Amino acid sequence: MTSQGSTESTEPTSRPVKEEHNLHHALPDVIRISFEEAVRDVDLDGWEDEWFSAGHFDAEKHGPFDEPKIDFVYNWVNGSDEAFKDIRHSYELESPLNDRDGKWISQHSINRYRDWDELRYSLRSLDVYAKGFINKIQLLVNSVGDQYQKDGTDMRPQRPTWLRDDDETNQHVQVLSHESFFREQDKDCLPTFNSLSIESQIYMTPSSTDQLFALSDDMFLGMPHAASDFYSPLFGPTMGFKSDHYNVKRLGGKSQIPSFGEKPFVYYTSYLLNHRFGERNRHVQAHFGHSVSRRVMKEAMASFPEPSARGACERFRGESRFQIYPWFASFHYTIERFREALIWS
């Protein structure tokens, strides 16, 4: 594999529905985005070179920094909504995961989309413990209607029934349909019912700040926090990892690929990262909120063109075990970029 792209085959064993209408297969697996290209539009403040080369920050000259503002972003769905269930079911019937006996449909629908009314309490925990540095709260939701229309006609974004719909609320809490932020070339992949596909586009949500913290609705803050608990200009985003780690040097056959939970996606993304940055053990991110830079995540996804484009079109998790894992890719892409900055300085 050259630095410009992969010529090795990483074709999945099954394809997302109607993928034959796109040209994802013509894209390279991996490309190398140069540092010069990556920072072309970034304005430096003058402290960066000394900080990375010597670990010294001149507070009298450059500081103190203003406390950064952070977006808190939720991937949310109300699986009890009859309109949502009708739309989802029509696509379940077309999914390659669907089996003759209907076992997949009956089993996956229960635990993937059920709303336990936890979101309101998660939002309250932000209001109590992080209020001072919240930029916006964004809820990423499916659009529903009598029949799904790609142009949004007669469709409405799902909205929690208890969330007020007034100017004061909407100023702080943005309800964003997937159609409003997916990349233009990926909107044909909608609707999607796959959290990995949605997360691969999360950096596209509109904002005045680069930094976001992504949560699930079953995650809560339990003590007072400062913005630096999530992100700081000097040290970047905070990251949590599990003891699990992967170093996949080549893709095995289907029988060799893990099949449980997040493992197949970590496995595949480890392979991609190895081809971009070199082989090493990489730990899996912990199951809690994820702090990322929109700019760096955009670069990470752009570095894996075919996997990113194909992953956006997997309507249901598991249609292919070869789906890029956005958080694993973005966390380790961030680490590798910091590593490169240290080497070059």
Find the range with the poorest average confidence among 8-12, 73-77, 203-207, 251-255. Answer: 8-12
DSSP 68: P
Angle between helices 82-92 and 103-113 (to 10 degrees): 140
Local confidence band at 3 (pLDDT 50, 70, 90 cut-offs): very low
Q: Percent of the chain having pLDDT more than 70?
A: 91
Indicate if the pLDDT at residue 16 is higher than 60. no
Kindly give the pairing relationship between strand 290-293 and strand 211-215: antiparallel
Tell which residue, 200, 309, 195, has the closest CA to residue 261: 195
Indicate if the pLDDT at residue 32 is higher than 90. yes
Report the pLDDT value the prediction gives residue 260, as an integer from 0 to 100: 73
Report the pLDDT value the prediction gives residue 178, as an integer from 0 to 100: 97
| 3 state SS for 212-232 | EEEECCCCCCCCCCCHHHCEE
Report the pLDDT value the prediction gives residue 343, as an integer from 0 to 100: 86
83-94 pLDDT tens trace: 999 999 999 999
What mean pLDDT do residues 183-201 have? 96
Distance (Å, whole) CA 320 – CA 269:
13
> In the block, which residue shows the tokens 């992504």?
214
Could you give the C-alpha distances from 209 to 69, 213, 231, in angstroms and in order? 7, 11, 12
Mean of pLDDT over the chain: 89
Distance (Å, whole) CA 124 – CA 129:
9
Tell which residue, 215, 219, 325, 203, has the closest CA to residue 272: 325
What mean pLDDT do residues 74-87 have? 94
What mean pLDDT do residues 211-230 have? 97
Task: Say which amino acid occupies 132.
Answer: G
> In the block, which residue shows the tokens 């690929």?
257
279-337 pLDDT tens trace: 999 999 999 999 999 999 999 999 999 999 999 999 999 998 799 999 999 999 999 99
CB 212 within 8 A of CB 205: yes
Tell which residue, 175, 186, 230, has the closest CA to residue 21: 186
Provide the whole-model pTM. Answer: 0.90
Report the pLDDT value the prediction gives residue 22, as an integer from 0 to 100: 56
Find the range with the poorest average confidence among 1-10, 24-33, 95-104. Answer: 1-10
What mean pLDDT do residues 220-238 have? 97
Distance (Å, whole) CA 63 – CA 46:
11
Report the pLDDT value the prediction gives residue 261, as an integer from 0 to 100: 85
Distance (Å, whole) CA 66 – CA 132:
12
Domain ranges for the chain, please list them. Answer: 69-344
CB 338 within 8 A of CB 236: yes
Local confidence band at 1 (pLDDT 50, 70, 90 cut-offs): very low
CB 297 within 8 A of CB 203: yes
What mean pLDDT do residues 61-83 have? 94
Local confidence band at 74 (pLDDT 50, 70, 90 cut-offs): very high
Local confidence band at 152 (pLDDT 50, 70, 90 cut-offs): low
E-state strands within 14-164: 70-75, 134-141, 143-144, 156-157
